Amino acid sequence: MTMRFPTTVGWQVWLCAGLLGLSAMVATAAPTAPAARALQQLFDDDWRWQMRHQPEFASSMGERAAGDRWDDHSAAALDAEEAHQRALMKRLQAIPGCPRPTGW
């Protein structure tokens, strides 16, 4: 049996988000308002996904509904997490002003 570990795509999502946030502070507010809303929606969607699919983390954040489950570390769950992170990255790249990572 081969051990599988979650991918490291998540850090790229947060890096792009941070750079977009920094560029939004430097630029004027009007042109970045749609990008800021799209970024906030992406964060909200990711947070909800994390709360549903990582119950141990959710419990540590005070989400009582998740306190009766353990994290799923099966191959299927890791595949789902990787697919989620890749989908986040595609959504993030569609937001104007987000730098495009290389090597993907």
| N-terminal to C-terminal alpha carbon distance within the chain | 27
Q: What is the pLDDT of residues 45-99, one digit of tens each?
A: 999 999 999 999 999 999 888 889 999 999 999 999 999 999 999 998 888 887 6
Q: What is the pLDDT of residues 3-36, one digit of tens each?
A: 454 555 555 555 556 655 655 554 444 546 888 8
Predicted confidence at residue 66, as pLDDT, reads 83
Instruction: With a cut of 90, say whether residue 104 has pLDDT above it.
Output: no
Of residues 16 and 40, more confidence is placed in 40
Query: Hey, what long-range contacts does 29-38 have (CB within 8 A, 24 or more apart)?
Result: 32/97, 34/96, 35/95, 35/96, 35/97, 38/91, 38/94, 38/95
